[in-house]
Amino acid sequence: MAAITHVPISPLPPERFRELLGAEYGRVEEAIETASSLLAGRVVWHVNSTATGGGVAELLHSLLAYARGAGADVRWAVVGGGPEFFRITKRIHNHLHGLDSDSGLLGEAEREEFLRVNRLAADELAELVQPGDVVYLHDPQTAGMVERLSATGATVIWRCHIGIDRPDPIVRGAWDFLLPLLRDADRYVFSRREYAWEGLDPERVSVIEPSIDAFSAKNEWLPPEVVHAILDRIGLLSDGGAAAVYRRLDGSQARVDRRARIDQDQQLPERAPVMTQVSRWDTLKDPLGVLEGFAEHVDLPDAHLLLVGPDTEGVSDDPEGAEVLGEVRAAREALDPGARSRVHLVSLPMEDVEENAAMVNAIQRRSTLVVQKSIAEGFGLTATEAMWKARPVIVSAVGGLGEQVVDGVTGRLLEDPRDLETFGRLASELLADPALAARMGEAAQERVRTRYLGTRHLIQYVEMLSRMLS
Ligand code: UDP
């Protein structure tokens, strides 16, 4: 069995961004020109552990397509591995977030299995990599490939997408497990300065923030009648006359067919102000706090709350998600009928990730206000996505959320994520004041346009490579 799988990449034209970026598109053109001489004859490899599902795969699908469209020979390889390997990497992932959920060890046995899988993948890839190539290894799952691939004469960059503001002994334990494997990397890239590990050579650390794709099914512009039609198809509204169509990233047209699993007493009234949180069903996203804050502290009698997440039924690898959703359901059932009738729990089908993305898109666009009241957060792409749709946001001042939102300008920051009274007051203000909401939404969209689109990400990659390779 092959130790790596090659993921096909269909090129997309970066020119798509010209209109969005206006004069700033000049910087993209400069980066493309620099890249074409810098990367001539080189292959840029990206290696991670999945081609579907999760933020990193979503990011790579977009960024690598535009990089190909710009003329770079980029390739994408995925490391295979059995259940034992992924049990270990999930444990590393949890430990890096300070979670010791399965009380499991990262000891010699784990190191052996982890390295065995990474070694097989690295050996297979090393057959193709040539001196002068660039290899991006993404996240802990690929850390064991650094040494072997460095020995090929390629430039090796380890890109870590996760992190925590205040490392504890559990986090440091995971660092100790990985650090010896990373010594030979030419560069370490983190999403925030705070996430860079102690023990890594600071001279080799770069910070590159995440980004979103303005043209993906998740973020592309949808006309209001299509938003309505998609929400009708899902089951949140009725009378959607138009077709529930969207565009896939590759430009082809598609239709939303599946329905969502929804707990609701009534559908969404057409003009009701709507507050939304979209998240995995996870305690750290605090859906229970959002529900309680809405029911007890939002004083608009016609406002509705949408709590939206992936369908957990039939997803056997996320028992925690089903449990959290169960708790949220029970809390909703316990509300008095008036409040309960304005709370909708929406579980979106996950069979087709782009269909799911179009549903998220329509829901965010129908929202008056989007919140992300996380107790802890890596970056918080749900906020970026809502801001891009010119929605005002209320986010906890934790992790990357605190950086994305300028308090009072592009949204509101909740200093203490557990302060439900302040949360309710801020939400009431925004839900009741369409002019304020519109002003903040516009400022939010502009912030995403200048800071969080994939073109900025690609420019930073080119700048970093030109410092390293020349
Ligand atoms: N998401 C989705 N469908 C869902 C729920 C969430 O596509 O039903 C997406 C959401 O739009 C965002 C990502 O999952 O792109 C979550 O990223 P974020 O950084 O907010 O949190 P994470 O899940 O990585 O902790």
* Residue of 381, 404, 448 to test ligand 1 pocket, by largest number of atoms within 8 Å of CB: 381
Q: Provide the 3-class DSSP secondary structure of residue 369.
A: strand
DSSP structure string for 30-46: HHHHHHHHHTTT--EEE
Q: What are phi and psi of 376, to 5 degrees?
A: -145, 150
Residue 71 has which token pair?
Answer: 């003329």
Q: How far is the CA of 357 from the centre of ligand 1 (A)?
A: 9
Q: Which residues contact 300 (CB under 8 A, 6 or more apart)?
A: 273, 428, 431, 432
For residues 263 and 311, give the distance between their C-alpha atoms in angstroms, rounded to a whole number.
12
Q: How far is the CA of 382 from the centre of ligand 1 (A)?
A: 6
For residues 106 and 190, give the distance between their C-alpha atoms in angstroms, rounded to a whole number.
23
pLDDT the model gives residue 317: 56
Q: Which residues contact 441 (CB under 8 A, 6 or more apart)?
A: 387, 389, 390, 391, 392
* Cα 447 to the center of its chain, rounded Å: 17
* Residue of 96, 191, 209, 280 to test ligand 1 pocket, by largest number of atoms within 8 Å of CB: 280
Residue 222 has which token pair?
Answer: 């949808």
Strands (DSSP E) found in 18-139 = 44-48, 74-79, 134-138
Closest CA to 218 of 374, 59, 64: 59
Judged on CB neighbours under 10 Å (0-12, 13-18, 19+), 470 is exposed
pTM tops 0.85:
yes
Q: Determine if ligand 1 sits within 6 Å of the CB of residue 69.
A: no
Residue 46 has which token pair?
Answer: 């990206």
Average pLDDT, consecutive stretches of 10 residues, N- to C-terminus, the chain (470 residues): 91 95 96 97 97 88 96 96 90 87 80 97 98 98 98 98 91 95 98 94 97 96 97 93 93 96 97 96 95 97 97 69 95 98 97 96 98 93 98 96 97 98 98 98 97 96 95
For residues 134 and 62, give the distance between their C-alpha atoms in angstroms, rounded to a whole number.
19
* Cα 409 to the center of its chain, rounded Å: 23
Beta-bridged to residue 335, according to DSSP, are none
Q: How far is the CA of 467 from the centre of ligand 1 (A)?
A: 33
For residues 441 and 186, give the distance between their C-alpha atoms in angstroms, rounded to a whole number.
40
The single-letter DSSP state of residue 7 is P
Query: What HEC string does 384-445 produce?
Result: HHHHHCCCCEEEECCCCHHHHCCECCCEEEECCCCCHHHHHHHHHHHHHCHHHHHHHHHHHH
Q: Which residues contact 20 (CB under 8 A, 6 or more apart)?
A: 214, 449, 453
| Residue 111 near residue 63, CB atoms below 8 Å | no
pLDDT the model gives residue 118: 98
Closest CA to 266 of 233, 304, 229: 304
Residue 28 belongs to what H/E stretch? helix 25-38
Residue 356 has which token pair?
Answer: 């799911």
Q: Determine if ligand 1 sits within 6 Å of the CB of residue 232.
A: no
For residues 401 and 375, give the distance between their C-alpha atoms in angstroms, rounded to a whole number.
11
Atom nearest to 353 CA in ligand 1: 7
Q: Determine if ligand 1 sits within 6 Å of the CB of residue 147.
A: no
Task: State how far the alpha carbon of 340 is from the alpha carbons of 307, 332, 369, in Å.
Answer: 13, 6, 19
Each residue's pLDDT tens digit, 73-93: 999 999 988 899 998 998 998
Task: State how far the alpha carbon of 186 is from the alpha carbons of 34, 41, 117, 154, 174, in Å.
Answer: 20, 20, 22, 10, 21
pLDDT the model gives residue 53: 77
Alpha helices, DSSP H, located in 267-419? 287-297, 319-333, 337-340, 353-366, 381-388, 401-404
pLDDT the model gives residue 158: 98
**Mean of the per-residue pLDDT values for the chain?**
95
Each residue's pLDDT tens digit, 399-436: 999 999 999 999 999 999 999 999 999 999 999 999 99
* Cα 331 to the center of its chain, rounded Å: 27
Atom nearest to 382 CA in ligand 1: 20
Is the backbone of residue 89 left (phi > 0), alpha (psi -120 to 50) or beta? alpha
pLDDT the model gives residue 241: 83
For residues 196 and 335, give the distance between their C-alpha atoms in angstroms, rounded to a whole number.
43
